[in-house]
Structure 1
Amino acid sequence: MDDTVRNELTVRPVSSREVIEADFQIIVRTVFEGQDGSRYVGYVYWRASDHLGDLQPVVFVGAAGCVTFWSGMLEPAWSAYPLEMQALRLVLPVSFTSEVLFEMASISGVLEGLYYFKNIEDGSVGVVA
């Protein structure tokens, strides 16, 4: 945060190669593709890491809202989402590739389901397919 934001929920575009502080959270538009070729738009948090807890992928599904693929310490459930959003489960695995933003490299990966910390002590991750 800097003096141009009102609170931690403020999002503003980065429209030039301005200096990006290491502690800024940067969300980058990302394209998600289901195994059937269906395409969705969403975002990831840009990090020099491939851990889903750092990337926190989010996919927008029609007008219904979004599916968050990282739930942190809570075990997620597909049943918590409306039916339109649960349809995303049928096209798993979903691959994703973020746009290139200035000198920051694109991030890509594959999602097998909804992820969470299975055991916070050892950092193991669980997935609900």
Structure 2
Amino acid sequence: MDDTVQNELTVRPVPSREVIEADFQIIVRTVFEGKDGSRYVGYVYWRASDHIGDLQPVVFVGTAGCVTFWGGMFQPAWSAYPSELQALRLVLPVSFTSEVLFELSAISGVLEGLYYFQNVEDGIVGVVA
């Protein structure tokens, strides 16, 4: 964040590789595919790590809104989402691949459900399928 932003929700395009190297948080457009072949667009935070807590995947479901697959310290619940978004649960597991940005490698993975820290001290991650 710099002096030109209103708050932490400000997002703008990355104009050059140099900006990435300046240690900004970068979100990268990502394609998600359900086990039934359904496709969704969303994003992940680009990191050299493949830890779900670093990537924090978000999937947009039509015009209904989005599902955040990382709950952090709080156990997420599918019931917290409207039924249109809960439909994503029926196509789990969901695979994903991010776009390539300025020679940064694509990030791929598989989501089995909503993730959270089950035990923060030990770094144990739980999943709500």
3-state SS of 1:89 partner: helix
3-state SS of 1:126 partner: strand
Scaled by the length of structure 2, the TM-score of the pair is: 0.95
Percent identity among equivalent residues?
Answer: 88
Equivalent pairs counted in the alignment come to 129
Measure the CA separation in 1 of the matches of 2:65 and 2:11: 18
Measure the CA separation in 1 of the matches of 2:115 and 2:84: 20
- Cα deviation for residue 6 of structure 1 reads 2.9
3-state SS of 1:96 partner: strand
Cα root mean square deviation, aligned:
1.2
Match in the other structure for 1:34: 34
Measure the CA separation in 1 of the matches of 2:4 and 2:18: 14
Match in the other structure for 2:98: 98
3-state SS of 1:29 partner: strand
3-state SS of 2:17 partner: coil
- Cα deviation for residue 103 of structure 1 reads 1.8
Uncovered stretches (5+) of structure 2, i.e. residues with no partner: none
Measure the CA separation in 2 of the matches of 1:126 and 1:50: 16
Counterparts in 2 of 1:85-124, with a 5 A limit? Answer: 85-124=85-124
Counterparts in 2 of 1:1-129, with a 5 A limit? Answer: 1-129=1-129
3-state SS of 1:90 partner: helix
Which is worse superposed, 1-10 or 74-83? 1-10
